[in-house]
């Protein structure tokens, strides 16, 4: 048990370091949007997802409703349900339901990738070790970023918050260059977002609903135009 936990901790170190740097920008953005250090830290501790927090902070600062926030998080984080179904096939059969629920809490993209490449069956001790440091890194980075955002001049804090947009560009562009369907889906979502924001006809649509419309519409059109072919047996 102890060795499994330690193995998980070692595997989680690179993820934790990456989360620490990325969440620093999330903390700055949270403070610049009017949230306190405690609120930003609590959000990171209970919602370990960069895309979800990015959208959530936008909706909160724009004065969106709770329903908009819930729907946006559901749409953006729906992929985690599919990832959890896949991960459940590698979990130890002896793992009870409450332990599976703990594992599901922090089943992020990076943690999922490392866990799926683990040679052995996934024990609760290993997953607990794998997830512990990334959660601390994500929350700690948010606290550091939020604290720095309160101390820095507002103009500099706003400038640093742009780093989060840079992170998304760095994630999306390489994939979009390799896969044309991804490029067109991203372009479609960006175009819809611009139309909703600039066209007076859509001025009544809030930030939360706008994110939901762009995400669902672009994904639906992408699924129709670029279907994934099933592998023949």
Do 72 and 142 lie in one domain? The reply is yes
Supply the pLDDT for residue 50: 79
Same domain, 148 and 62: yes
In the predicted structure, residue 211 carries a pLDDT above the cut 80: no
Range of 65's domain?
A: 2-162
Residue from 211, 185, 230 nearest 71 by CA = 211
**If you compute the radius of gyration of the chain from its CA atoms, what whole number of angstroms results?**
19
Q: Which two tokens stand for residue 66?
A: 């709770």
Residues 196 and 142 in one domain: no
65 and 99 belong to one structural domain: yes
Structural domain includes residue 53 = yes
Is 167 part of a structural domain of the chain?
A: no
User: Is residue 47 in some structural domain?
Assistant: yes
Residues 42 and 76 occupy one common structural domain:
yes
Q: Are both 154 and 192 inside the same structural domain?
A: no
User: Do 25 and 149 form a contact (C-beta atoms < 8 A)?
Assistant: no
Contact 27, 143 (CB under 8 A): yes
Residue 213 lies in a domain: yes
Which of 26-35, 90-99, 107-116, 174-183 shows the lowest per-residue confidence on average (mean pLDDT)?
174-183
Check whether residue 30 and residue 126 sit in a common domain: yes
Alpha helices in the chain (DSSP H): 2-32, 37-46, 50-61, 66-76, 79-88, 97-105, 109-116, 124-151, 154-161, 163-178, 180-198, 207-225
Question: Is residue 142 domain-resident?
Answer: yes
Residues 157 and 53 grouped into a single domain = yes
Do 156 and 184 lie in one domain? The reply is: no
141-199 pLDDT, tens digit per residue, is 999 988 887 777 766 666 665 665 665 676 577 777 888 888 888 888 889 889 988 88
For residue 172, tell me if it sits in a domain: no
In sequence order, what are the beta bridge partners of 122? 91
What SS3 class is residue 89? coil
pLDDT band at 1 (very low <50, low <70, confident <90, very high): low
Listed residues 133, 162, 191: the one ending a domain: 162
Q: Under DSSP, is residue 77 helix (H, G, I), strand (E, B) or coil?
A: coil
End-of-domain residue from the set 162, 188, 223: 162
Residue 96 lies in a domain: yes
- Asked if residue 217 and residue 156 are part of one domain, the reply reads no
Q: Residue 25 has what pLDDT?
A: 81
pLDDT digit string (tens) for 109-150? Answer: 888 888 888 878 889 999 999 999 999 999 999 999 888 877
Domain boundary among 114, 134, 162: 162
Least confident of 3-17, 152-166, 183-197, 219-233: 152-166
Mean pLDDT taken over the chain: 83
Cα dihedral angle (197, 198, 201, 207), rounded to 10 degrees? 10
Q: Do 196 and 139 share a structural domain?
A: no
- With 0.75 as the threshold, say if the pTM is over it: no
**In this structure, are 42 and 70 located in the same domain?**
yes
| 129 contacts: CB under 8 Å, gap ≥ 6 | 4, 5, 6, 7, 8, 9, 10, 11, 12
Flag whether 171 is in a domain.
Answer: no
Split into its structural domains, the chain has a count of 2
Cα gap 135→142, rounded to integer Å: 11
């Amino acid at each position: 048990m102890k060795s499994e936990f330690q193995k998980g901790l070692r595997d989680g170190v690179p993820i934790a370091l990456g989360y620490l740097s990325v969440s620093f920008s999330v903390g700055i953005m949270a403070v610049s949007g009017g949230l306190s250090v405690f609120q930003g830290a609590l959000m990171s501790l209970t919602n370990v997802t960069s895309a979800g927090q990015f959208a959530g902070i936008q909706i909160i600062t724009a004065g969106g409703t709770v329903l908009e926030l819930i729907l946006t998080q559901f749409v953006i984080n729906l992929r985690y349900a599919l990832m959890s179904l896949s991960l459940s096939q590698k979990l130890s059969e002896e793992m009870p339901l409450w332990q599976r629920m703990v594992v599901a809490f922090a089943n992020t993209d990076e943690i999922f990738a490392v866990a799926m490449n683990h040679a052995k069956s996934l024990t609760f001790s290993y997953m607990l070790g794998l997830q512990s440091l990334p959660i601390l890194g994500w929350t700690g980075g948010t606290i550091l970023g939020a604290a720095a955002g309160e101390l820095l001049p507002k103009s500099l804090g706003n400038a640093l918050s742009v780093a989060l947009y840079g992170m998304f560009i760095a994630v999306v562009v390489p994939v979009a260059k390799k896969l044309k369907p991804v490029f067109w889906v991203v372009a479609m979502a960006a175009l819809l977002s611009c139309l909703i924001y600039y066209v007076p006809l859509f001025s009544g649509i809030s930030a939360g609903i706008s994110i939901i419309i762009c995400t669902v519409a672009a994904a639906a059109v992408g699924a129709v135009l670029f279907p994934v072919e099933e592998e023949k047996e």
